[in-house]
Amino acid sequence: MSCNILAIESSCDETSAAVISDGKILNNIVATQSVHEKYGGVVPELASRAHQQHLVPVVSEALKSSGVDKSALSAVAFTRGPGLMGALLVGVSFAKSFAHALDLPLIEVNHMEAHVLAHFIEKPSPSFPFICLTVSGGHTQLVRVSSHLEMEILGETLDDAVGEAFDKIAKILGLPYPGGPQLDKLAGNGDPDAFTFPLSDMKGLDFSFSGIKTAVLYFLKKNLKEDPDFIARNLEDICASVQQTLIAMLMNKLIRACNESEIREVAIAGGVSANSGLRKALKESAGEQGWKVYLPKLEYCTDNAAMVAMAAHYKYQAGQFCGLDISPLARMKIGNHGKK
């Protein structure tokens, strides 16, 4: 009998459901929340309400398009955290109710672990152990991955995530939401050496991205006093210079982590792994450092239920289930399981 799992993702502003059968992703249904665009960022309360509106249609479509009837499901998986508490609560509550009604086991999934395991949706996939640079709007982590269910954080941001730095700087420049992809697009036509911004270098393998936001802000204020059209005339060069600085911060730590661990299998994951500059830098470093590099498909970079389903597949095989008394965790680190 096939093992069919319904997976639900609701950690931020993407409502998603997917069905996996014997380790094969059958679909990946995602409903994007456009309501946040006019606010220039995700509004938690509006995200929760949108999840309530989207979840039933998304799950219905996932089951229908997969050809798997709910009576043939083996388990229900959901993102427990990290994420926005209200958004997580919608997904967790739905998963618990759905599983309880059908007397199915529940599987909790760590959102960040799911990003890493997105690399196993399709081949080629990394060999263990590998280093994964996980970068998103809320997290920046260097993770040593020893198996599908064994991960260790080697370093992480001590303040802002790199995705937040991209988005906040883009907002300062007047770019539309979501700003990160817009900045990346403009950077492609700019001179990355036009302007110089400071590289923060924390001890060990940790990151800090709060300083560059401040540096860019003061840089722009100074130049705008002298030339009100400074941003308009130099927008592409500013974007390219900012992007080069942020990527350099990431790559410096990634190279250090690989050298210290003597691991040459390298992957990236998370929303910022869609950034064209980062992907290019990783490919270039592959030749220089002797790495074997793995880049996820763009559809598996941003938040999606397919990656949750993939993680759930391995947890199902290991018999790692949870009870109906499980609650969401807004702050949940890799390895932080079984806590109420």
Q: Minimal CA–CA distance to 163: which of 178, 152, 185, 175?
A: 178
Instruction: Check residue 133 and give left, alpha or beta (phi > 0: left; psi -120 to 50: alpha).
Output: beta
The reply to whether 167 sits in an annotated binding site is yes
The reply to whether 135 sits in an annotated binding site is yes
Q: At what angle do helices 179-187 and 162-172 cross, to 10 degrees?
A: 80
The reply to whether 148 sits in an annotated binding site is no
Burial of 325 per CB tally in 10 Å (0-12, 13-18, 19+)? exposed
Q: φ, ψ for residue 24 (rounded to 5)? A: -110, 125
CA distance 208 to 158: 6
The reply to whether 227 sits in an annotated binding site is no
The reply to whether 13 sits in an annotated binding site is no
CA distance 258 to 299: 27
Cβ atoms of residues 265 and 131 within 8 Å: yes
Q: Minimal CA–CA distance to 128: which of 115, 117, 140, 114?
A: 117
The reply to whether 138 sits in an annotated binding site is yes
Sign of CA dihedral 16, 113, 199, 253: negative
The reply to whether 136 sits in an annotated binding site is yes
The reply to whether 22 sits in an annotated binding site is no
The reply to whether 184 sits in an annotated binding site is yes
The reply to whether 100 sits in an annotated binding site is no
Instruction: List the end-to-end C-alpha distance of the chain, in Å, as a whole number.
Output: 33
Q: Where is the binding site for Fe cation, in residues? A: 111, 115, 303
Q: Where is the binding site for substrate, in residues? A: 134-138, 167, 180, 184, 275
Q: Where is the binding site, in residues? A: 111, 115, 134-138, 167, 180, 184, 275, 303
